[in-house]
C-alpha cells in the first residue's frame, strides 16, 4: 500500500537515503528542509516543504507541513548546540509538538533516535533525544522508535566520514579510544527497516538496529581501511587523553563558527561510552542486521570513495594553511609597511600613497584570512581570495613586471595559493 511520507531532515546523510528508498518502494515522499536550494540539489524532483524545526515547537505550527501526510519519519538532528543548532528545540520541543499534532490527525511517526538516549545520559545530545522520545511515547501516536548503531553508508558523513578520514592516513594509524565497543548498521539495512515500518510489516515498538556482536573501534577502522583498499598502517599510535581533549575543545570552538566537525566534544563523549545496543528485539521479528564485514561486502569501493576519504582528510589542513597564509601576509605587510611600500615608490608612487596602499591591502588580506574561519563565509572568502590574487598579479604585471623574474618568486607563489582557494571552495560543499 502506497503512503504519503513526510521526511524531516530529508537532505541529510540518513534522510536522503530514506527518501530514495521509499521512492523505489512507490511511496509518495515529501521532504522538510530549511535550505530548499540544498534540498533541490541533493534530491532533485522531490517536493520540499520549507520549514525550520526550531520554529515548529507548538502543535499548531505543524498544520501546514502535515497536510495530506500518512507517515512522518524524523531523520533530523544536531550533534550539539552551535551557530545554527538548538538541541532542545530540534530534539525535544519540535518533536513533542509533532507527536501531539500527529496523534490528533492519526499520522504514524517513525523516530530515528540514538543508542544511549536516556534521561541520565552524559551529553545534552542524548538527554535531549531522550526527552523527545519520551514526549512521543506520551503523545499516544502510532510509533516506531529506532535506535541505529554507527551507520555505515556508501556515501560518508559524520561518523562514517571520520572513519574514512582515519583510514586514509598513510603509513601510520593514529587512534584514540581504540578499545571502545562499536556496533554498526548498514544504511541499506536501516532504510529497509524504515520501509517495513512505513508499509506496516514491522510492528510498532522500539528497536535497536545494530549488528549482533560489537567490535572495538580499532577493528572498525581497520576494516574500513581494507574496504578502501589502502595499505595497512606500518605503525599504530595511541593518542593520549589530553590530546583528544585539546582536539575536541578546538573543534567545539570552531563549532560556534558553524563548523560541524565529527571531533567535537559530544561526539567523543558518546564514542567514549561505546556505540552499542541490544539486537534481540529486532531479531525477534525474524529479521537481522548485517555485520560490518557483510555491510562492506555489499558496498562498492571505487576511486571516488578513496579520493573522497583523502580529500576529507586534507580539507582541514588546506583551510588552516590558507588561513595562515592570508593572515601572515596581512600581518607582515602591516608590520613592514614602509619596506613593502618601497617597491611602489620605485615606480613613482608618493611615499604616503604607497604606505597607505600597503596598509589597505594588508588589511584586506587579514580580513580574507579571518573570514575563512566562519563557515557561512568560507566559500565566499575563497572566491574573494581568487579575485584579490588576480588583482595583485595584474597590478604587479603592469607596474613592476620585473617581479616575475625575482629569484624568490613573490608573484609566482601567488598562483598555487590561488589554486588552493579554488580547491577549498569545491571541498566546502557538505551535501
Please give the Cα distance from 161 to 158 (Å, whole number): 5
pLDDT at 312 over 90: no
Residue ending a domain, among 273, 301, 329, is 301
Which of 301, 332, 359 terminates a domain? The answer is: 301
Joined together, the cell numbers standing for residue 282 give: 529486532
Residue 89 has pLDDT above 70, yes or no: yes
216 contacts 179 by C-beta, under 8 angstroms: yes
User: Would residue 129 count as lying in a domain?
Assistant: yes
- Average pLDDT, stretch 36-41? 84
The total number of structural domains in the chain stands at 2
For residues 163 and 220, the answer to whether their CB atoms sit within 8 Å is: yes
Cβ count near 239 (within 10 Å)? 13
User: Is the predicted pLDDT of residue 1 greater than 80, yes or no?
Assistant: no
Residue 414 or residue 86, greater confidence: 414
Q: Are residues 197 and 283 in the same domain?
A: yes
Contacts of 58 (CB under 8 A, 6+ apart): 97
Residue 86 clears pLDDT 80, i.e. is over it = no
Using the predicted structure, report yes or no on whether residue 380 has a pLDDT greater than 80.
yes
Nearest C-alpha neighbor of 296 from the set 192, 162, 156, 153: 153
Average pLDDT of the chain to the nearest whole number: 89
- 83: how many CB neighbours lie within 10 A of its CB? 13
Are 260 and 161 a contacting pair, CB within 8 Å?
Answer: no
204 plus 337 within the same structural domain: no
**What pLDDT is attached to residue 431?**
64
Highest mean pLDDT among 112-121, 210-219, 389-398: 210-219
CA distance 73 to 202: 14
For position 116, what pLDDT does the model report? 81
Among 196, 144, 159, 151, CA closest to 290: 151
Does 320 lie in the same domain as 295? no
- Residue written as grid cell 530540534: 90
Q: Name the domain boundary from 301, 330, 353.
A: 301
Both 277 and 208 in one domain: the answer is yes
**Where are the alpha helices (H) located in 140-240, listed in sequence order?**
159-168, 187-199, 217-227
Per-residue pLDDT reduced to its tens digit, 7-30: 998 888 899 999 999 999 999 999
CB within 8 Å of 340: residues ≥ 6 apart: 333, 358, 362
The model's pLDDT over 335-374, given as tens digits with 9 standing for 90+, comes to 988 887 887 787 778 888 888 888 999 999 999 999 999 9
Same domain, 58 and 198: yes
| pLDDT over threshold 80, residue 80 | no
Kindly indicate the confidence band of residue 120, based on its pLDDT and cuts at 50, 70 and 90: confident
CA distance 428 to 378: 8
The CB-side HSE value for 163 (13 A sphere, CA atoms) comes to 29
Query: Looking at the structure, do residues 326 and 262 belong to the same domain, yes or no?
Result: no
Q: Give the closest residue to 367 by CA, choosing from 418, 327, 322, 328.
A: 327
Q: Identify whether residues 260 and 332 lie together within a single domain.
A: no
Range of the domain at 412: 315-427
105-137 b/e with 16+ CB inside 10 Å = b? Answer: bebbbbbbbbbbbeeebebebbbbbbbbbbbbe
**Does any domain span residue 269?**
yes
Residues 253 and 387 in one domain: no
Residues 297 and 322 in one domain: no
For the domain that residue 248 is a member of, what is the CATH number?
A: 3.40.50.720
CA-to-CA distance for 225 and 215, rounded, in angstroms?
15
Mean pLDDT on 56-78 = 92
**Residues 422, 286 share a domain:** no
Q: Which residue, among 181, 22, 140, 151, has the nearest Cα to 77 in the 3D structure?
A: 151
Task: Look at residue 391 and tell me if it is in a domain.
Answer: yes
Helix pair 303-335, 351-371: axis angle to 10 deg: 150
In a domain, 306, yes or no: no
Residues 281 and 392 in one domain: no
Question: Is residue 119 one of the residues assigned to a domain?
Answer: yes
In a domain, 398, yes or no: yes
| Residue 309 lies inside a defined structural domain of this protein | no
Query: Are 158 and 64 members of one domain?
Result: yes
The alpha carbon of 370 is separated from its chain's Cα centroid by a whole number of angstroms, namely 22
Amino acid at each position: 500500500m502506497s503512503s504519503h511520507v513526510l521526511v524531516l531532515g530529508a537532505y541529510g546523510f540518513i534522510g536522503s537515503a530514506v527518501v530514495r528508498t521509499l521512492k523505489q518502494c512507490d511511496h509518495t515522499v515529501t521532504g522538510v528542509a530549511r535550505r530548499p536550494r540544498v534540498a533541490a540539489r541533493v534530491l532533485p524532483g522531490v517536493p520540499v516543504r520549507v520549514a525550520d524545526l526550531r520554529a515548529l515547537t507548538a502543535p499548531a505550527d505543524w498544520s501546514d507541513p502535515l497536510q495530506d501526510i500518512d507517515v512522518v519519519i524524523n531523520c533530523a538532528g544536531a550533534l550539539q548546540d552551535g551557530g545554527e543548532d538548538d538541541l532542545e528545540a530540534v530534539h525535544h520541543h519540535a518533536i513533542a509538538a509533532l507527536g501531539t499534532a500527529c496523534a490528533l490527525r492519526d499520522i504514524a511517526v517513525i523516530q530515528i533516535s540514538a543508542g544511549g538516549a536516556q534521561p541520565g545520559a552524559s551529553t545534552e545530545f542524548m538527554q535531549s533525544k531522550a526527552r523527545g522520545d519520551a514526549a512521543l511515547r506520551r503523545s499516544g501516536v502510532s510509533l516506531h522508535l529506532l535506535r541505529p548503531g554507527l551507520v555505515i553508508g556508501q556515501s560518508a558523513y559524520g561518523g562514517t566520514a571520520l572513519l574514512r578520514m582515519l583510514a586514509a592516513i598513510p603509513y601510520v594509524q593514529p587512534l584514540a579510544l581504540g578499545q571502545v565497543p562499536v556496533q554498526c548498521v548498514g544504511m541499506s539495512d536501516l532504510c529497509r527497516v524504515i520501509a517495513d515500518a512505513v508499509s506496516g510489516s514491522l510492528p510498532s515498538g522500539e528497536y535497536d538496529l545494530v549488528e549482533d556482536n560489537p567490535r572495538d573501534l580499532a577493528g572498525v577502522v581497520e576494516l574500513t581501511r581494507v574496504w578502501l583498499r589502502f595499505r595497512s598502517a606500518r605503525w599504530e599510535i595511541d593518542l593520549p587523553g589530553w590530546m583528544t581533549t585539546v582536539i575536541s575543545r578546538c573543534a567545539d570552538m570552531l563549532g560556534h563558527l558553524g563548523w560541524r566537525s565529527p571531533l567535537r566534544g559530544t561526539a567523543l563523549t558518546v564514542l567514549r561510552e561505546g556505540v552499542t545496543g541490544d539486537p534481540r528485539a529486532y531479531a525477534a521479528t525474524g529479521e537481522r542486521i548485517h555485520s560490518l564485514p557483510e555491510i562492506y561486502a555489499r558496498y562498492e569501493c571505487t576511486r571516488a570513495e578513496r579520493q573522497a576519504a583523502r580529500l576529507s582528510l586534507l580539507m582541514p589542513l588546506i583551510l588552516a594553511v590558507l588561513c595562515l597564509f592570508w593572515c601572515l601576509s596581512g600581518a607582515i605587510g602591516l608590520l613592514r609597511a614602509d619596506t613593502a611600500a618601497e617597491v611602489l615608490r620605485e615606480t613613482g608612487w608618493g611615499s604616503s600613497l604607497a604606505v597607505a596602499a600597503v596598509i589597505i591591502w594588508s588589511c584586506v588580506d587579514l580580513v580574507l584570512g579571518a573570514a575563512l574561519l566562519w563557515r557561512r563565509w568560507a566559500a565566499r572568502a575563497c572566491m574573494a581570495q581568487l579575485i584579490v590574487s588576480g588583482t595583485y598579479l595584474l597590478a604587479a604585471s603592469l607596474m613592476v613586471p620585473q617581479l616575475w623574474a625575482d629569484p624568490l618568486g613573490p608573484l609566482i607563489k601567488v598562483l598555487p595559493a590561488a589554486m588552493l582557494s579554488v580547491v577549498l571552495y569545491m571541498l566546502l560543499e557538505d551535501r
